[in-house]
Structure 1
């Protein structure tokens, strides 16, 4: 199978116009021991006959790709819980890898997770406990599990655990479970904090989160012990906050400047540095991205890291979204483009201009507010090929222009044109045999069924 045939097959695998008969044929393909293309296995809304083919596929890699498909329903993926392949069960246990913050993955049913947690192989159990997709109800149920690793995972749900489960975890026979639980409970227990400070493995985190006795706080300031962590501690006395606000360590001063209780006057009186592209990972803002009052405090702050943290919320009301859109901070722009469905067009265009490459293409293709109208007139003759491909998005772009752009010097522009259903059929057929365009042409929804079948034939997919 030639390289361009493989590429065309990948395109057809993701083609939304692929007929059901050809989809079933493709899904049964063994791919020389690698299985069918991933795009076929991870399509959203696969019909039951297609799911049945995947579940019975002789190539474990095919079942593994389906196990971690964000497009599949949890109940469909759950049918792999007893798969004979360790790789498949491990993939199922961890779940889909998600890179788009707007993508939500529904968790597997609790009963399926419980069976995975009883899997005889430790890698399956570990993958499940590491999964970011567990239902809260299942995490809470882990508090009484016989496996200490499961009980440690339950501690992450500390604030919603019943009091009896919290007490049991604090007295757990496993020292790591006890320590992990103590690091949560120490936020309201100075005695636990003092105990944790004596353990080098937990001292920094206890200083960051725990309820502090004044004597311990003063000692840590005097000894300069984990000062950056201490500067974040919510219970740090106000006079010690003031001392750390003028500390010679710039990282300590920056941490103090982000404390939630400071008013704007005091916050901005601190001499703190901010790198141009620091991400703004502020815990108290990150934990309140759906809290209107907290978001308003952060978004209206003069502190750039608080504004960047607020920009990561998909819940910004229109006035705060407008306000942040006018900061012209590249990091704010990026977060708005990633996270907010109503990001203004001008912000999206700034993000597109700044990044170029794959991220710009992702923004242009997936964001519901990215502009379309007028792009052909503005960009079809732009000197930058990254902009010329935007002309393909314009509903008013003619087949003549689309064909012209399919010969563009920039490969991404050619590929965008090859995916467009307005591309004249003769050029679309030709593009199937051009290595760098074959995948895009295969994904074109205007590709005739007989051409899709021919791609499968050339790739050696049995009828």
Structure 2
């Protein structure tokens, strides 16, 4: 009953005051709450109860942020930890002022883990120049993406901690310093340097002649500081993994591009086929194959927005991977959304559905029906996912598709009742919550060990029954 959207405010307040911990947990963590209940939660004497609300992904983040100065460490820790959502879901950011306050006053140990997922993109972009020094310290973490002028300002910052952090990041661009720091054994620090940091000629030569571990040649092949002559050398490396890494480099010369375009390895040819220096005609001449069993994911908004002209160029490309890249851009204009929504490539359509805030209802439904990979369920959480007409899928072979009938307010009562006996437990559960479930079956389910919880959350109960159910605490109506 704590999860029932039709439970009256007085019932929720009673459950909050009298319910056992399990009830308070689902009430405070797993649903939207009326304002009066929110106020009662914020003042609740039980630390864990406030902690449940601190990590509620359903309520307005500004409501959660009212716990920012809670006297208990546990509650502040739960607020700092990003709420957990189903695969593909991203928590809504906390208000910027709350984030700045937390960075300024919380111990560093509370801001580890997933706290960063609650920071808005707008605040991220202002962090390197923010008036609060501790926020600028966070901004230093975007060092490689910062303009030279901003880097110089951070190196000369009035705050010692900001300067120290900036100097540490600047050292990553000093190949001599990185050479001295490079561990002589295979470990995370060594791989990080080989993949991302400035490489001296000595380090590169040692990797080419006496690597410490397998895969180090492929690691330096993607390093942005690799010397031009070594790029040429590795373009003919006998290891296809090395050539595949080289094929993605923007600094490849024409001769290397031509050679890799005809490489005997399919993975190398595919990597070269999306090179930014190729014309559409050159791209079309490459014999590449698009993987057919790819999984697609919702993408975080980039720190640096893409150039709209580059996005438009990729959206009009004949190469599916470039169109997929364009499809992840959240600022894609309406004409490109319309074009990519009917693209021939499943990946383009699904990525557009997963990422664009205005993905049309027809695209979202089509993507759900045609795609059964990772984050499929995330599609149903998108803003425009349809509700009407879904009852037509009540007899579909795929149980996840049959379950869509639970989202349709016009699903016939007889169909709802039948699906509460579906062979799939997830289908039974969601249909037991449908308000069109006939009352006799709904009452019957309160005695069903499997579906009693789902039936109790059904919004079809009137307030009199809700009060009776709470009073009887699990006894028969």
Say whether the fold is shared (TM-score over 0.5).
yes
Which of 6, 9, 13 is 1:20 aligned to? 9
Question: Given the two structures, how large is their TM-score scaled by the length of structure 2?
Answer: 0.72
Pairwise CA distance, 1:36: 0.9
Counterpart of 2:42 in structure 1 is 55
Which of 440, 448, 461 is 2:462 aligned to? 448
Tell me whether 1:415 sits opposite 2:432 in the alignment. no
3-state SS of 1:435 partner: coil
Q: Could you give the per-residue CA deviations for residues 271-322 of structure 1, whole angstroms, max 9, x where no partner exists?
A: 4453223357999x97787754333322332323223223333444455445
Question: Given the two structures, how large is their TM-score scaled by the length of structure 1?
Answer: 0.74
Asked if the contact 1:70–1:96 (Cα under 8 Å) also holds between the matched residues in 2, the reply is yes
Residues 1:403 and 1:147: Cα distance change in structure 2 (over 3 Å): closer
Residues 1:182 and 1:433: Cα distance change in structure 2 (over 3 Å): farther
Tell me whether 1:91 sits opposite 2:78 in the alignment. yes
Q: Distance in 1 between matches of 2:396 and 2:25?
A: 35
Show structure 1 runs of 5+ residues with no match.
1-11, 187-191
Which of 336, 342, 348 is 2:359 aligned to? 342
Q: Distance in 2 between matches of 1:159 and 1:98?
A: 34
Give runs of aligned pairs for residues 258-273 of structure 1, distance below 5 A. Answer: 258-273=274-289
Which of 149, 158, 163 is 2:146 aligned to? 158
Give runs of aligned pairs for residues 307-456 of structure 1, distance below 5 A. Answer: 307-340=323-356, 341-343=358-360, 345=362, 348-349=365-366, 351-352=368-369, 354-355=371-372, 359-360=376-377, 363-364=379-380, 368-370=384-386, 372-373=388-389, 375-376=390-391, 378-382=392-396, 386-456=400-470
Q: Could you give the per-residue CA deviations for residues 418-438 of structure 1, whole angstroms, max 9, x where no partner exists?
A: 222222223222223323322
Counterpart of 1:7 in structure 2 is none
Counterpart of 2:194 in structure 1 is 203
3-state SS of 1:436 partner: coil
Residues 1:14 and 1:289: Cα distance change in structure 2 (over 3 Å): farther
Q: Distance in 2 between matches of 1:389 and 1:180?
A: 50
Report the aligned-residue RMSD: 4.5
Pairwise CA distance, 1:157: 6.5
Asked if the contact 1:441–1:447 (Cα under 8 Å) also holds between the matched residues in 2, the reply is no
Q: Distance in 2 between matches of 1:436 and 1:426?
A: 17
Pairwise CA distance, 1:92: 1.6
Q: Distance in 1 between matches of 2:245 and 2:298?
A: 13
Give runs of aligned pairs for residues 283-322 of structure 1, distance below 5 A. Answer: 292-322=308-338
Show structure 2 runs of 5+ residues with no match.
183-189, 198-220
Asked if the contact 1:372–1:395 (Cα under 8 Å) also holds between the matched residues in 2, the reply is yes
Asked if the contact 2:103–2:134 (Cα under 8 Å) also holds between the matched residues in 1, the reply is no
Asked if the contact 1:90–1:127 (Cα under 8 Å) also holds between the matched residues in 2, the reply is no
Residues 1:419 and 1:293: Cα distance change in structure 2 (over 3 Å): same
Counterpart of 1:123 in structure 2 is 109
Tell me whether 1:38 sits opposite 2:20 in the alignment. no
Pairwise CA distance, 1:100: 7.2
User: Paired residues, what number?
Assistant: 435
Asked if the contact 2:51–2:79 (Cα under 8 Å) also holds between the matched residues in 1, the reply is yes
Q: Could you give the per-residue CA deviations for residues 11-50 of structure 1, whole angstroms, max 9, x where no partner exists?
A: x333222211112222334524x56133543533640x32
Give runs of aligned pairs for residues 239-250 of structure 1, distance below 5 A. Answer: 239-246=255-262, 250=266
Asked if the contact 1:419–1:443 (Cα under 8 Å) also holds between the matched residues in 2, the reply is yes
Asked if the contact 2:25–2:52 (Cα under 8 Å) also holds between the matched residues in 1, the reply is no
Q: Could you give the per-residue CA deviations for residues 71-100 of structure 1, whole angstroms, max 9, x where no partner exists?
A: 334443233233344332222223333557
Counterpart of 1:69 in structure 2 is 56
Q: Distance in 2 between matches of 1:282 and 1:453?
A: 42
Relative contact order, CA 8 A, sep 6+: which one is greater? 1
Asked if the contact 1:143–1:165 (Cα under 8 Å) also holds between the matched residues in 2, the reply is no
Greater alpha carbon shift after TM alignment, 393-402 vs 444-453: 393-402
Q: Distance in 2 between matches of 1:287 and 1:61?
A: 35
Q: Distance in 2 between matches of 1:433 and 1:93?
A: 40
Counterpart of 1:234 in structure 2 is 250
